[in-house]
Structure 1
Amino acid sequence: MKKIFILTITLATLLFTGCEDYMDITPKGKVIPQTVAHFNELMSNRNMFLLGPANMFQLSDDIVMYDDELNRLFTRVIETENTYLFKDHIYLSVDMSDPDWEGLYKQIYVSNVVLDNIDNAEGNDEDLRIRIKGEALAQRAQAFFWLVNLYAKHYDSNTSTTDLGVPMPVKADVNAVLTRATVQEVYTLIETDLLEAEKVLPTNPEYNYRPSKQGVQGLLAKMYLFMGKFAKALEYADKSLSEYSFLYDYKTYDFHPFMPKFMGPDQWPRMAKDDLEAVWGRVSGGFMPYTVAVYMSDELKSLYDEGDRRYYFSVQDMSMFGPNMHGPSILPLALRHRSGIHTAELYLIRAECNARLENATAAINDLNTLREKRFNEGAFVPYETDKTSDEALDLVLKERRVELFLDGQRLFDLKRLNKEPQFAKTITRTFKGQTYTIEPDDENYVLAIPKKVINLNPKMEQNPRAGRN
């Protein structure tokens, strides 16, 4: 086990510094596993595969920050400000690492090591061999899904074959010099990997951070939603929820009595691995993105109905670092900042697809199933089912904001909904006496390729920037 542990750490701690390839990786030692059991150890690396992206949290109309309180942040002050104001670059120096870019490409590299070698690995456990291959395909697909949605334009069937996506390594060759694939090419690989993984993975994982058939079906539902393929998204959301559909009942939880709110709810699961709504669990790679000095926007507050415990569990009058200066600040709970696949989001995906496919009653029924678990005792009032499809869709999008708040999903919803004129939105920020306006077609909805990567490979094409420095 010690040998495997060292092997896992060797591959998992590849740093993106100094190599002349597009990803900027320098391996600390090229140790290749030999057996199926070795590869299982690689795919068991919870510290690597549990982590999702973090840069999208401040890129949202759901939050407000104030310049007189920014200095209360104890980490990433400049980067947080740059993100909040949709500036051209989050990381200003060519020496600075982008944890999202690097972390996701590390997952892809390790997955590629497995895929390159698993077929010829020593060992007689063929069921394990097949499962590990399926896990590697699934983990690679999820990493590419986040990368293409952070660093490229939202999928558009009219332009996806020419829109620049992200570099797309499919072999574990750190010396390969690759250019950016198109958005369509990246989505095609994601779809191919997931469909292949779905065939071989078990229905339920041993641990929720490892992919399963149900988790892969959930990501397929999300991918097809982002692609605007609503019938396919509905099909896969149905498949996933038919296997497992648990929802927490928020009215059965409350904060620790006689203790500050920031201590969290009593008996609430403290570890992401214990999140029972997680079909394929991931959490933000950032350290407590809303620890202090970040507030819920008035617009978002207005969307919560009376007695909605999602609001109750999301704000606090005082953080662990002292009283707030601008009212209730955001409370980061143990299971928030989730970036994997969860049952609540699958209900919302299915509801949105039904609304868009003219089945308003089914959409409202899913919303009511979710909402019934989120209100104070006696406060839940179900939505009436006599809605038009447009009315049902409006309610779905409202519920996405209140349910998925704190999960970083709003950036991606803004990107995709801005393509629909009836939902396109202009965001205005006022900060340090200056007003910033983010139009629906703002170029900075797409994150910049890290300066460090561009510096190492000048042929890498940068995303257009809005000139907001």
Structure 2
Amino acid sequence: MPLKNFKYNEMKKIIILTLTLATLTFLGCEDYMDISPKGKVIPETIDHYQELMSNRNKFQIGPTNMFQLSDEIVMYDDEINRLFTKIIETENTYLFRDHIYLSTDDPDSDWESLYGQIYVCNVVLDNIDQAEGNNEELRKQVKGEALAQRAHAFFWLINLYAKQYDNTTSATDLGVPMPVEADVNATLERTTVQAVYSLIENDLLEAEKVLPLTPEFNYRPSKPGVQGLLAKMYLNMGKFDKALEYANKSLSEYSFLYDYKTFDFHPFMPKFMGPFPWPSVVIDDQEAVWGRSPSFPFPYTVAVYITDELKALYDEGDRRYYFSFIEASMFGPNLHGPSIIAPGLRHRSGIHTAELYLIRAECNARLGNAAAAINDLNTLREKRFNEGAFVAYPTDLSSDEALNLALKERRVELFLDGQRLFDLKRLNKEPRFAKTITRTFKGETYTIEPDDENYVLAIPKKVIALNPKIEQNPRAGRN
């Protein structure tokens, strides 16, 4: 996926609703539906709808709330007040409390941004077939982008606000509201987990047929990007043969990995400026098959620490550790150890080649192809170690041994990407990997069992207040 110099041209004002109104579309509250988009250009042509799908500020954003919901970090009550924003919300998340947002006035930025993306996609899908213009290839591509971006948003929503996919219960487990039209008067209830996954799958398979192999910029979906999300989706569903198929497809089109030996901290700059010449923006990340990044860039920088358990998983000479932990952040030294830093000063939440290697390795291990799994792990690891420090895993291991190594590598490679919540949810379904988390904070001990109801985020109180037909998730009683 060759890089291009990014020149962001201002888009025309083709705005139908603000983000807030787009979000409230899915709440069904008519008090918010007095819509008169005066001074806005109503989209009519294929080019107009392409520009709607070109909104980098909207479609590059991924979720943030899942970062503290893992077993890989530690926070201390004597330091949490150093956080420069959302102290209460961060504490609530870290302790797996019933609600992150306590008031009906508090917006949930993940819910709102993801449904905002879905609204724009639905506007495009409702109108692109009738849009003016003769460029039929562009019409197909724009439609494919809208299908793919809608699927990506629903993938995050279903994994944040609903139970883990389980083929024995997902047909009845509560999913999330699933608008498929841009209807500002719709009052939507929650559909099922299975229905949302079916929509995601169908959208992605349709998009795969029409999207290009190489997007203009990597925040836009492409064929290998969609194939990568299909691999991720099928992995999450436990359909390892399908996940392997689509990981293979994506990596056959694009498989670039950075060699971490070619980066280092600048000798004349503080380390919190990040390694050089590490890509500092999503569109420059050559490992991004489909680039996204959370709206909040510093979820780990201040007052958050790595657990001893995770630290022990890093082998000697692993530059993933070297680049991720520094003496002091830009906000000063932490009190309990090194500061955590995302190497590019941003966290990744899209589809990346490194994760696809890990998906392929895990699936091969689960399907009895241990040597193939180890080969992929070694391909990735060889790019991540100091010169002379890389030691290849032996290829004559059992499938269970290869699987354990694949899951270990997921933890050290994807630590800063916020992936652990979703791995905990799916792995807790397997008794051999199920895990109990214990937190000690402000003199109290909190225990999170593998079946804890608060692995599923609460539907925002603001949403339920505006639309009581949306049923709340069961809560664990951890207030």
> 1:224 — aligned with what?
234
CA RMSD of aligned residues (A): 1.8
Report the CA distance between 1:258 and its aligned residue: 3.2
Report the CA distance between 1:130 and its aligned residue: 0.6
Q: Give the SS at the match of 1:305.
A: coil
> 2:368 — aligned with what?
358
> 1:5 — aligned with what?
12
> 1:115 — aligned with what?
125
Q: Name the CA shift for 1:261/1:458 in 2 (closer, same or farther; >3 Å).
A: same
Which of 344, 349, 356 lines up with 2:354 in the alignment? 344
CA distance in 1, matches of 2:34, 2:45: 21
CA distance in 1, matches of 2:126, 2:458: 30
CA distance in 2, matches of 1:27, 1:388: 63
CA distance in 2, matches of 1:398, 1:23: 50
Report the CA distance between 1:69 and its aligned residue: 0.6
Matches for 1:278-357 after TM superposition, within 5 Å: 278-334=288-344, 336-357=346-367
Normalising by the residue count of structure 2, what TM-score does the alignment of the two structures yield?
A: 0.95
Cα deviation 1:23-47 (Å, max 9, x = unaligned):
9965754564100000010000000
> 2:28 — aligned with what?
21
Cα deviation 1:62-98 (Å, max 9, x = unaligned):
1111111111111011100000000000000000100
Residues 337, 407 of structure 1: 8 Å contact kept: yes
Residues 134, 201 of structure 1: 8 Å contact kept: yes
Which of 456, 460, 466 lines up with 2:470 in the alignment? 460
CA distance in 1, matches of 2:404, 2:52: 44
> 1:391 — aligned with what?
401
Residues 294, 349 of structure 2: 8 Å contact kept: yes
Q: Give the SS at the match of 1:311.
A: helix
Cα deviation 1:296-332 (Å, max 9, x = unaligned):
1111000000000000111111111112210112112
Q: Name the CA shift for 1:313/1:2 in 2 (closer, same or farther; >3 Å).
A: closer
Alignment length (residue pairs): 469
Matched, 1:274 2:323: no
Matches for 1:245-256 after TM superposition, within 5 Å: 245-256=255-266
CA distance in 1, matches of 2:232, 2:327: 35
Q: Name the CA shift for 1:392/1:336 in 2 (closer, same or farther; >3 Å).
A: farther
Which of 91, 94, 105 lines up with 2:101 in the alignment? 91
> 2:224 — aligned with what?
214
Report the CA distance between 1:271 and its aligned residue: 1.1
Q: Name the CA shift for 1:468/1:380 in 2 (closer, same or farther; >3 Å).
A: same
CA distance in 1, matches of 2:36, 2:19: 11
CA distance in 2, matches of 1:365, 1:99: 40
Q: Name the CA shift for 1:29/1:392 in 2 (closer, same or farther; >3 Å).
A: farther
Which of 72, 78, 93 lines up with 2:82 in the alignment? 72
Q: Name the CA shift for 1:26/1:70 in 2 (closer, same or farther; >3 Å).
A: farther
CA distance in 2, matches of 1:40, 1:11: 18
Residues 418, 425 of structure 1: 8 Å contact kept: yes
Moved over 2 A (4+): 1-5, 8-20, 22-32
> 1:424 — aligned with what?
434
Q: Give the SS at the match of 1:14.
A: helix
CA distance in 2, matches of 1:13, 1:200: 31
- The letter for the 1-side match of 2:47 is A
Matched, 1:263 2:263: no
CA distance in 2, matches of 1:278, 1:268: 13
Q: Name the CA shift for 1:19/1:145 in 2 (closer, same or farther; >3 Å).
A: closer
- The letter for the 2-side match of 1:70 is I
Residues 230, 246 of structure 2: 8 Å contact kept: yes
Cα deviation 1:346-400 (Å, max 9, x = unaligned):
0000000000000000000000000000000000000001110000000000000
Matched, 1:204 2:176: no
Matched, 1:155 2:165: yes
- Structure 2: where are the runs of 5+ without partners? 1-7
- The letter for the 1-side match of 2:186 is A
Residues 19, 26 of structure 1: 8 Å contact kept: no
Q: Name the CA shift for 1:340/1:156 in 2 (closer, same or farther; >3 Å).
A: same
Report the CA distance between 1:19 and its aligned residue: 8.2
Normalising by the residue count of structure 1, what TM-score does the alignment of the two structures yield?
A: 0.97
Report the CA distance between 1:191 and its aligned residue: 0.3
Q: Name the CA shift for 1:92/1:38 in 2 (closer, same or farther; >3 Å).
A: same
Percent identity of the aligned residues? 76
